[in-house]
Structure 1
Amino acid sequence: MKTPSLFLLMSALSMPYSHAAEADSSPWQSEVSLGLQQLSGNADSQTVNGEVNGQYDGEQTRYQASASVLQVEKDGEEDKRKTELETQANRGISARSYVLLNATYVADRYGPYFDDFMLATGLGHQWWQSDTLSLSTEVGPGYRYQRPNLDEIDDDDLIMPYSVREPVIRAQAKGEWQLVDSVRLEGRSIVISGASNTSVEGAVTLASTITEKLSIKITSKHNYMTDVPPGLKNHDSVLTLGLRYQWL
């Protein structure tokens, strides 16, 4: 699978959609986050994580990309490693609606699949957009490929022992609320449904500004899967406390 080539191809696309921005603001935004995580559910541990996000938001254009890495060490040896990549390009078709192309790739050594790739398209709609509140939804078809990691499987590993190649439906809801000048609440929920499995992922982040570019954030992330190996939980959660720095 030529996943890197696809991400480079999408990076070259210019597909419009944006919320209203002030004329003197930069169309580019980027930030980096570092923090600690506490995992509960099928895994209980503490670890360090990092995340980089970038966005181009022109007058009628939007392109987003993110990358995150999670690494856990126990007794001086690597115990877990997870890499997530996501990129999305949008093209506006009206003042509030847009078409989208989304690609995600996850390499997860302790998740249900070692490789998890999905390409999806669809329609999005901005239901509300103001200086303090925004709400949007997306829905559309896609295709996913998932390869299980069969090299090392323990009884408590959330591994489904088969490869998946199937069409799926992807739906997303995303919102942001500026509670006060220095506190922001962000939420995102994604549902991916196919013949083999349905997953629901939700994340809520509370960010408090320390300086103009630096903020502290707390994120609670939950993942639910309908089909898991016998004896394991359908639900996993991740609690993250970290710092976010915006350099553009």
Structure 2
Amino acid sequence: MTKNPFWALLSLVSLPVFALVPPDYHEPQNNLRAEVEAGFQLNTGNTDSTSFNGRTKLVYDAAKTKQEGTVKAYYAADDQGTTNERYDLEMQSNYKLSRGYILASGNFTWDKFGSYTNRYTFVSGYGFDIVSTGRTKLSIEVGPGYRYSMPQETDDEPNPEADREPILRTKAKFEQLIHEYTTFNADLSTEIGATNNTVILDLNYKNTLFQDWAFKVGFKMEYNQNVGEGSEQTDTITTFNLLYTFQ
């Protein structure tokens, strides 16, 4: 019987393909994930305006280590000029243990209109998971650190001195997968020092629109127990962003 030349050619092509790509081949795991978001913001407290914000986050999660880096930028202006200008840089490195992880982190804030114009915090410590399921995650971190804070200039103190002090930081991280396309996150951290105590609450709700695009609503509250004259103790930022995930 004469063979169809098309099937003969297909057989010759298929043999090297199966030799190079075995049937049980799987793509290598991608440990790097990136998020980019931008959108609208509403500020209350020491600033009262509406404008835009942006955020970029990189996460590299390997077998024994996890690296995270986040950059945030907030800018607002009205007819009188700039009303809000703030930049945040957050970095953390975790070394995984059989139970929990050892961490080292650094947070840097430059805030032109905040109660503190410059704040740098360095922390080391230990973290562990209280709950870790497919839908719910809750972890706790605790450790000592060092904080540098430059207060805002005031009429009574036009040349303030920076506060330099050791601190104790505790942080709780909560993540809830509501359903396949919706996630709720809540981070609560406290910094206890000799001259100032700080509480930071960061909430966000993310809903996937299609593929790698999502709509995200965020709320951040920062409370400082001791602030200069004319500054409010509590600052809040509410954001409405469009987010894209690379992974």
TM above 0.5, yes or no, is: yes
| Paired position in structure 2 for 1:109 | 112
How far does residue 45 in structure 1 lie from its aligned partner after superposition? 0.7
Distance 1:120 1:34, change over 3 A: same
Question: Which runs of no fewer than 5 residues in structure 1 stay unpaired?
Answer: 1-22
| Paired position in structure 1 for 2:173 | 174
| Paired position in structure 1 for 2:212 | 213
| Paired position in structure 2 for 1:3 | none
| Paired position in structure 1 for 2:63 | 59
How far does residue 139 in structure 1 lie from its aligned partner after superposition? 0.4
- In the alignment, does 2:38 pair up with 1:34? yes
| Residues 46 and 115, structure 2, Cα contact 8 Å, conserved in 1 | no
How far does residue 162 in structure 1 lie from its aligned partner after superposition? 3.0
| Residues 37 and 55, structure 2, Cα contact 8 Å, conserved in 1 | yes
- In the alignment, does 2:75 pair up with 1:71? yes
How far does residue 228 in structure 1 lie from its aligned partner after superposition? 2.3
Give the partner amino acid of 2:105: N
Select which of 80, 85, 105 maps to 2:89: 85
Question: What is the aligned residue count?
Answer: 220
| Paired position in structure 1 for 2:186 | 187
Select which of 145, 150, 166 maps to 2:148: 145
Question: Which runs of no fewer than 5 residues in structure 2 stay unpaired?
Answer: 1-26
| Paired position in structure 2 for 1:131 | 134
| Residues 148 and 160, structure 1, Cα contact 8 Å, conserved in 2 | no
Distance 1:229 1:115, change over 3 A: closer
What CA distance in whole angstroms lies between the structure 1 residues aligned with 2:163 and 2:155? 21
What CA distance in whole angstroms lies between the structure 1 residues aligned with 2:159 and 2:125? 28
What CA distance in whole angstroms lies between the structure 1 residues aligned with 2:48 and 2:80? 17
| Residues 160 and 229, structure 1, Cα contact 8 Å, conserved in 2 | no
Report which of the two structures shows the higher radius of gyration computed on alpha carbons.
2
Deviations 1:43-84 (A, max 9, x none): 211111000000001122201000011111122733321110
What CA distance in whole angstroms lies between the structure 1 residues aligned with 2:224 and 2:162? 16
| Residues 113 and 160, structure 1, Cα contact 8 Å, conserved in 2 | no
How far does residue 24 in structure 1 lie from its aligned partner after superposition? 5.7
What CA distance in whole angstroms lies between the structure 2 residues aligned with 1:133 and 1:24? 26
What CA distance in whole angstroms lies between the structure 1 residues aligned with 2:152 and 2:48? 20
- Between 1:37-46 and 1:196-205, the stretch displaced more is 37-46
| Residues 115 and 228, structure 2, Cα contact 8 Å, conserved in 1 | no
Deviations 1:193-240 (A, max 9, x none): 111100100011111000121000111111111112346532222111
Q: How does 1:159-170 map to 2 (within 5 A)?
A: 161-170=160-169
The percent identity for this pair of structures is: 28
| Paired position in structure 2 for 1:204 | 203
What CA distance in whole angstroms lies between the structure 2 residues aligned with 1:97 and 1:103? 20
TM-score, scaled relative to structure 2: 0.83
How far does residue 178 in structure 1 lie from its aligned partner after superposition? 0.5
Helix, strand or coil for the counterpart of 1:210? strand
CA RMSD across the alignment: 2.1
Displaced runs of 4 or more, over 6 A: none
Deviations 1:107-128 (A, max 9, x none): 1101122221111100100112
Give the partner amino acid of 1:71: Y
Give the partner amino acid of 2:77: E
| Residues 160 and 228, structure 1, Cα contact 8 Å, conserved in 2 | no
Give the partner amino acid of 2:222: N
TM-score, scaled relative to structure 1: 0.83
What CA distance in whole angstroms lies between the structure 1 residues aligned with 2:160 and 2:127? 34
Distance 1:229 1:54, change over 3 A: same
| Residues 71 and 80, structure 1, Cα contact 8 Å, conserved in 2 | yes
| Paired position in structure 2 for 1:236 | 235
